Amino acid sequence: MISPEANDPAVDALLLSYRTHGGVNLEGPTMLPSRDEVAAVAKDVLALFFPGYFGGGPLHPDHLASETGRRIRALRTRLLHQIERASHGTDIDAEHVVRVFETALPGVRELLMSDVVAAFEGDPAARSEDEVILAYPGIVAVAIQRVAHALHEQGVRLVPRMLTEWAHGATGIDIHPGASIGGSFFIDHGTGVVIGETCVIGSHVKIYQGVTLGAKSFPKDSEGHAVKGLKRHPNVGDHVTIYAGATLLGDIEVGAGSTIGSNVWLLDSVPPGSAIRSPDAAPTVRTSRVT
C-alpha cells in the first residue's frame, strides 16, 4: 500500500505544473463557469422548450404553469451565476443579459418548433413530431445553439460556447453559437456536422451527416497570429439541401434553391438553383429557381 507522505513527489510535481502552466479554476473573484452547471442550464432549457419530453415524465395539465415557473427560476439562477463568473472584469451586465434572454425564449421556441415540423416533413422515416422531439439529435443540437446564439448576440462568449459544446458531446453535432440560422432548419442524422462561427444559414435548409461549413483560411497579423472576428464561413441561401459528407469552405455564397451533392468539396460561390455534384463540382443551373 502507498502511504500518504508530507512530501509526495507526484503532488509536488503537479503543483509545480499548476504554477508554471496554469489551467486551474480556483474559488475567488475570478473563478470560471462550472461545466456541470452549464450542462444543467442546457437541460433546463430543453425542459422549458419541451415540457414532459425532457426533465422527467409527462406533466399533469394543472401543474404546467407552476412547473414552468419553477424551471424558469432555476434557469434564471443558474444562468445568472455562470454569466457573472464568465463576465468578471468586463462591462457585461449579467442581470440585464438574463432579462433580455428570457424575453427572447418564446421567439426562440417558435423557431425551434418550425425545426421540428421541418424534420417531420423532411424525413419519411419520422412517424410523428413527438418522435422528432424525443429521438432526433439535430433537434437537441439546434435547440441549444439557438439559445446560445441569443446569449452570443449580447456579447457573452464563454457560456454560449460551453452550451454548444455540451450539445456537441451529446449529439455529435458541432454548431458554433455565433452562427445565424433561419427557421425550418433540419439536420438529418447529424453525426459529424460542423457549422462555423460566421455561417449565415437561411430558412428551410436541410443538412445531412458529415457536412462541414467551415473556414478556408484566415489572415495573420504582423506577429503571425490569426486575425479573429472576420467573416470566414459560408452563407447558405433559403431552400438549400446539402448532402452527406459535403465540405463548403470560406466566405462563399450558396444560392437559394441549390443542391450540394454528397462528398462535394466547394470553395467557390454558386448561383441560385445550382446542382453541384462530385467529383468535379461543376455547377448545373436548373431552369426553375426558388426565390
pLDDT of residue 5: 59
pLDDT of residue 141: 98
Query: Model-level pTM?
Result: 0.90
pLDDT of residue 228: 80
As to burial, measured by CB atoms within 10 angstroms (0-12 exposed, 13-18 middle, 19+ buried), residue 220 is exposed
Distance CA(241)–CA(244), nearest Å, equals 10
Q: Which residues of 153-191 are buried (b: 16+ CB within 10 A; e: fewer)?
A: ebebbbbbbbbbbbbbeebebbbbbbbebbbbbbbbbbe
Question: Degrees (nearest 5) of the Cα angle 142, 112, 254?
Answer: 60
Q: Do 164 and 193 form a contact (C-beta atoms < 8 A)? A: no
- Residue-range domains of the chain with CATH: 33-172 (1.10.3130.10), 192-219+228-291 (2.160.10.10)
Q: Could you list the pLDDT tens digit for every one of the 291 residues in the chain?
A: 455 556 899 999 999 999 999 999 988 877 899 999 999 999 999 999 999 999 988 999 999 999 999 999 999 999 999 999 999 889 999 999 999 999 999 999 999 999 999 999 999 999 999 999 999 999 999 999 999 999 999 999 999 999 999 999 999 999 999 999 999 999 999 999 999 999 999 999 999 999 999 998 777 777 777 788 799 999 999 999 999 999 999 999 999 999 999 999 999 999 999 999 986 545 555 544 443
Q: Which residues of 74-84 are buried (b: 16+ CB within 10 A; e: fewer)?
A: bbbebbbbbbb
Give the rounded distance of the alpha carbon of 34 from its chain centre: 18
Q: Do 249 and 211 form a contact (C-beta atoms < 8 A)? A: no
pLDDT of residue 291: 39
